[in-house]
Structure 1
Amino acid sequence: MGFIFGLIIFAADLYAIFQTLQSPAPSTTKLLWTLVILLLPVLGLVLWFFLGPKVAKV
């Protein structure tokens, strides 16, 4: 069970990092969010979801 949970968190973190790098935010903001997501995988993901840079939807 722990392996599956870890895999889901890893995939969600990769998605969050990809979306952050694709956002129109300044480079320093992208770097900061990427570090938060990498250093705090679960908490960083939750914070990014609610507070992170938003991607423009076309």
Structure 2
Amino acid sequence: MFDLGGLFGLILLALDIWAIISIVGSGETTGKKVLWVLLVVILPLIGFIIWLVAGPRSARTAP
């Protein structure tokens, strides 16, 4: 059978990296950015889900 644990881990790593990049690029204060990054790093799956629902978004320029 397949071992999907490794594949799941790689996908989660990619999603966490995406979240961290988005957090760093957001317009939040440095302290909030640090707390969000720590949450995603310490609790990868739960932190990512919380960030996805309630986290800061990256700053986007209006057209």
Which TM-score applies when normalising by structure 2? 0.87
* Aligned with 2:42 (options 39, 43, 55): 39
Partner of 1:2: 5
Residue type of the partner of 1:47?
Answer: I
Comparing both structures, which one devotes a greater share of its residues to helix?
1
CA distance in 1 between counterparts of 2:59 and 2:23 reads 11
Secondary structure at the residue paired with 2:19? helix
Report the aligned-residue RMSD. Answer: 0.8
| Alignment of 1:25 onto 2:32 | no
What stretches of structure 1 of length at least 5 have no aligned partner? none
Which TM-score applies when normalising by structure 1? 0.94
Total equivalences in the alignment? 58
* 1:54 Cα deviation from its structure 2 partner: 1.8
* 1:55 Cα deviation from its structure 2 partner: 2.1
What stretches of structure 2 of length at least 5 have no aligned partner? none
